[in-house]
Amino acid sequence: MGSSSPNKRRYHHGGLSEALVQAGIDILTEGGIGQFTLRECARRVGVSHAAPKNHFPTVDHLKSEIGARGFEQMVRELAVAADAAAGQSADSRFIAMGIAYVRFATANPAAYQMMFRDQQGFACTPRFLEAAEAAWDQLEEAVAAVIGLDRPDVEARAAHAFALVHGFASLIIDGRLPPDLATDQVIAQSLESLPDALRGVGTA
């Protein structure tokens, strides 16, 4: 029989790194950014405080890993939403992606925090930077399809769209909107008018 001591737990084939990531997400979900340390993650998964350093040299590397995975998951979910959009026009795909963005953020607030809110001192790993860039590229491509590939202001219009959905997501996560507000309806209405607004904005 193996020992029941948590400090003698064994992980194989990346099991420890996965467990540490989940422990970090759990801490963030509980609202405990102040408790987000490698030592606390190690305690939760039942390994020595030194064990995490075999996978994440610092706590910022673990934060970066959670953020990178968040970007990767978001890109996948937005692509699925776009492909399922009714009519498959550029506008309908764009609107579906905006709705999916807010849904992803509010369903995954811990990952969202590491994606956008806690990057001071981050060890921005190549994976994090690549995932973040892929997410921005996805947005720019969707905006270009809406306003025209020859527009010179795609980046500025993408920033406009990002500000809208990111603002909604952040306000919902932080509980800053009136509790009786029909947020889904407000978001849908805002996004439905956004393609025309983006096309009507002059060159930045």
Q: Which domains does the chain have, with CATH numbers?
A: 1-56 (1.10.10), 59-200 (1.10.357.10)
Q: Give the confidence band of 31 by pLDDT, cuts at 50, 70, 90.
A: confident
Enter the DSSP assignment of 6: G
Q: DSSP states of 50-111 as a string?
A: TGGGGT-SSHHHHHHHHHHHHHHHHHHHHHHHHHT-TT--HHHHHHHHHHHHHHHHHH-HHH
Residue predicted with more confidence, 161 or 204: 161
Per-residue pLDDT, averaged over 192-199, amounts to 96
**Backbone CA torsion sign across 52, 56, 59, 64:** negative
Q: DSSP states of 100-113 as a string?
A: HHHHHHHH-HHHHH
pLDDT at residue number 202: 46
Per-residue pLDDT, averaged over 129-138, amounts to 96
Q: What pTM value is reported for the model? A: 0.86
* Residue 128 contacts residue 114 (beta carbons within 8 Å): no
Per-residue pLDDT, averaged over 82-100, amounts to 95
Q: Compute the mean pLDDT over every residue in the chain, rounded to the nearest whole number.
A: 89
The 10 Å CB-count burial string (b at 16+, else e) for 89-109 is ebbbbbbbbbbbbbbbbeebb
pLDDT at residue number 121: 56
| Alpha carbons 12 and 17: distance in angstroms, whole number | 9
| 201 pLDDT more than 60 | no
Residue labelled with tokens 């999916």: 100
